[in-house]
Structures are given as C-alpha cells and as structure tokens.
Structure 1
Amino acid sequence: MKIKEVSELYGLTSDTLRYYERIGLIQEVPRDKNGIRNYSEKNCATIAFIKCMRAANVSIDGLIQYITLYRQGDNTRKARKEILIKERNHLKERMDTMQNALDHLNRKIETYDTWNT
C-alpha cells in the first residue's frame, strides 16, 4: 500500500508515518523503482500495533524500547512482558483518574436536575 492509503487506513498523517520510519519504529518499508514507499502487511501490522500503543498513551521511547526488544527475538519475552505490564498499570491509573473525574461531573450535573427553575 502506498503511504496515502496507509495514512487513511490508520488515521495517521504521512509525516507521522515517515517519522516512525525515521526513528526506527517501522523498518524495511519496500520502495518501488521510483522510491515510493509500498507498505507491506508486516509494516501495516507494526503500524496497527503502534497506533494501539499510542492510544494507550505509551511513549515513543517506550515503543522504541519494546520494538527493539521484539526484534531481538524470543529471549526478550520477559522484558517485553514487563514493559507491557508497566504500561497497562499506567493506563489503568489514567482510566481510574478519568473515571473519578467523570463521576464528579455526573454528580455536579445531577445537582442541576434537582434544582427548581
């Protein structure tokens, strides 16, 4: 797939895709004879993973660390799992904070429903 198609499919800008490639998150993007990127299924799977992790607020540095370990093979499984557990815990903390804020807003909104206008 060309960069425009991948950009539209994953909701990322072309600049973001090129950035991910430049910093090594996406590797070995094939190019045609004119130098135009032609993303493979493997590249797209990596992009889907990156997008998911970014949605979970995983930092670029955390992604680089994880993907670097992944590319080193199965002997890094324990370290990769630890990264994912750490990121899951951070996400859970953020979700708890957001849930508390939502609960507070709902209580405040309910007070308006009980007032006589």
Structure 2
Amino acid sequence: MSRTAALLSIGQAAERTGLSVHTLRFYEKEGLFINPVRRVGGQRVYSESDLSWLYLCTRLRASGMPLPAIREYVALVREGEATMRGRLALLRDHQERVVAQIEELQGSLALVSRKVALYEHQLAGDGNDPLWTGSCVVEHERQD
C-alpha cells in the first residue's frame, strides 16, 4: 500500500472519527495535533496515527480535560522523551479529577436511584404522590 493510499481527506477523517469537519479544523487551529496536518494538493489529509491521536484528544476532552491542558500535553509530547515525567504528572492530576467526578456522579446516581425506587414503589401501591402530602415536609427530609 502506498503512503498516499493511507491518507484520508478531511471528510473521510470526519466520518471515521465521528467528528465534524468544523471540529477537525478547530482542533488543528487549537494546535491539538502532534504534527501539523499535512496538505496534499491544497487539501488536508490525515493518517491513521492522526486519527489515533484525535481519539486520545477527544477522550481527554470527554473526561473534562480543558483545552489548555490538552495543548500543554501536546506541547510536552512534541518535546519528546525528556518530558515524560511532566506528561505523567499532568495525566495523574487529570486522573485524580476524573476519579473525583466519578465519585460525585456515583453519589448523584445513588440519590436518583433512590428516587426512582420511591416512585416505582408508590406507583405499584396506591399511586399517591409522595411529594404532595398536604404538609410542608420536604421529600428528602422524609426519605433520605
């Protein structure tokens, strides 16, 4: 397979990654690619390694990493092996934030699950609305 056969147009890259063409251009403008996006005949082209890198960036974004932190990570990667400790520190910090977010979400899920169970129980029984009892008692004071 020739080198050019492995290159994808921006439309093909968008289709493969699920990102819009606009988002691909935005990521390029923000400097989120390790290597500059190549151009063939004036058109942007992407390699498999570009798509793998995009996947990493989108997962970092989805996990709440801000763009400036991703740019910092990209800059460190570009600098090479000497920055491995810095990259590790950056990712460990982010890992701690993600773990904290997951713990918070688990607490929220537990509360929502209790409320779902409460409503399912009420609907399976007499169907009375546990929030409207004619008193001013707040639901969470009675159930949580």
- TM-score, normalization by structure 1: 0.92
**Matching of residue 77 in structure 1 with residue 84 in structure 2:** yes
Q: C-alpha offsets along residues 25-56 of structure 1, whole Å, 9 cap, x if unaligned?
A: 123222122x1111112211211111111121
- Which residue is equivalent to 2:36? 28
State the alpha-carbon separation in 2 of the partners of residues 114 and 15 from structure 1.
48
Question: Partner of 1:92 in structure 2?
Answer: 99
Equivalent residue number for residue 10 of structure 1? 17
> Which stretches of structure 1, 4 residues or more, deviate above 6 A after TM superposition?
none
Q: Quick check: which has more Rg, 1 or 2?
A: 2
Distance 2:19 2:83 in 1: 29
* Corresponding position of 1:56: 63
Normalising by the residue count of structure 2, what TM-score does the alignment of the two structures yield? 0.76
Q: CA RMSD in A?
A: 1.2
Residue 71 of structure 2 aligns to which amino acid in structure 1? I
What secondary structure, in the 3-state scheme, does the structure 2 residue paired with 1:31 have?
strand
Q: Is the 8 A contact 1:30 1:40 kept in 2?
A: no
Q: 1:45 aligns with which of 52, 69, 73?
A: 52
Q: Number of residues paired by the alignment?
A: 116
* 1:103 alignment counterpart: 110
AA aligned to 1:28 is P
Higher percent of residues as helix: 1
CA distance in 1, matches of 2:79, 2:107: 40
Report the Cα offset of residue 92 of structure 1.
0.8
**Where do 5+ consecutive residues of structure 1 fail to align?**
none
Greater strand share, 1 or 2? 2
**Secondary structure at 2:70 match in 1:** helix
For structure 2, the residue ranges without an aligned partner over 5 or more in a row are 1-7, 127-144
